[in-house]
Amino acid sequence: MTLGFLLLHYELIGYGVSFFVFLPFILGYILAKGTVKKFGLYGFIFSLATFFILLFAGGLEGMVCILMALPLVIIAFILGYGIKRLIENGKSKTDKDNIVKSSILPLFLFLGFGFLEKELTKNDKEIISVKTEMIIPYSTTEVYETIKSVDTLIADKPFLMKLDLPIPNKCILEKEEVGGLRTCYFSGGTITERITELKKAKVLRMDVIDYKLTGRKWLGFKEAIYYFDKVGQDSSKITRITTYTSVLTPRFYWQPLEKIGISQEHDYVFDNLKNDLKKKYGR
């Protein structure tokens, strides 16, 4: 039953507070019943493990997403379990538990809360920007010419990429003009961008028009921007900005994790850029 509710919620209600917080809280509350707590706890652990394995094996979610979600789910479950145990301990032995009140009603409350949350937040998408800057001893022209199209990206992988974060492999620029397409290939799919502003060695701004990344249904990529600024006589600063939307809530938990993931993608691209510049210009 637990697995069924997890899958139902994942497919129909989404990735909000009701999924990551309210559902495990309710399940912890239900499964803490004195007569079934041991078997219920084992059942929840088995169902949760099976659910996440199915998500990963089926390509619906990556390992990074699953590992990020686990602390939130476990804490909510422990809270629900602990509150129910406190209530149980406060009852006298003669008190009888009402099955509707203690089991069925909480599940209906969960489903109602989930559908309501999805309806209230379906058009509420905040646009978030992640910016990474780097100063390097090359001209803006050299940096621009090297990063606009990349045959092979090779660099030391950040921690999250070693787990399961998509790894950029190459980026191909089809036409170097406004309206031209640039396609980036990842270990888990592709991102296609259309150039909206192009000033060589100054700015390369692109709208994301299509992305196919395994397990990233909750992310909506919007824009990718590169700025190239001269610094001193022989150096330049490159700035990469990624804008995106996300349906994951609570935002105070997910937004910092999302930014870390995108920042590590930026760092990987910049590390590869340094390697390519050194090979190309020898300094």
Does 200 share its domain with 116? no
Which of the residue ranges 77-91, 135-149, 205-219 would you say has the lowest mean pLDDT? Answer: 77-91
Does 50 share its domain with 71? yes
pLDDT interval class at 3 (50, 70, 90): very low
Residue 4 has pLDDT above 50, yes or no: no
Does 31 share its domain with 139? no
Proportion of the chain above pLDDT 90, given as a percent: 37
Q: How far apart are CA 91 and CA 181, in angstroms?
A: 67
- Higher pLDDT pick, 103 / 264: 264
Does 147 share its domain with 116? no
Mean pLDDT of all residues belonging to the chain:
79
Domain boundary among 105, 121, 137: 121
Q: Count of CB atoms within 10 A of residue 175's CB?
A: 10
Domain boundary among 121, 150, 180: 121
The torsion angles phi and psi of 85, rounded to 5 degrees, stand at -65, -40
Residue 5 neighbours by CB under 8 Å, 6+ apart: 23, 27, 107, 110
Domain boundary among 59, 92, 121: 121
Two structure tokens written together for 279: 């090979």
Gyration radius of the chain's alpha carbons:
24
pTM: 0.78
- Higher pLDDT pick, 26 / 195: 195
Whole domain around residue 51: which residue ranges?
A: 2-121
pLDDT interval class at 55 (50, 70, 90): low
Does 135 share its domain with 272? yes
Longest dimension (CA), the chain: 85
Does 112 share its domain with 47? yes
Number of folded domains in the chain?
A: 2
Does 199 share its domain with 270? yes
**Average pLDDT in the 64-90 region?**
79
Q: How does pLDDT run across 247-274, given as a tens digit for each residue?
A: 887 888 889 989 999 999 999 999 999 9
Does 133 share its domain with 78? no
Q: How does pLDDT run across 211-224, given as a tens digit for each residue?
A: 888 656 678 899 99
Exposed / middle / buried, residue 75 (Cβ in 10 Å: 0-12, 13-18, 19+):
middle
Does 68 share its domain with 146? no
Would you say 72 and 52 are in contact if contact means Cβ atoms under 8 Å apart?
A: no
Does 69 share its domain with 203? no
Residue 224 neighbours by CB under 8 Å, 6+ apart: 193, 205, 206, 208, 240, 241, 242, 243
Does 154 share its domain with 250? yes
Q: How far apart are CA 130 and CA 224, in angstroms?
A: 10
Does 101 share its domain with 150? no
Residue 184, domain CATH? 3.30.530.20
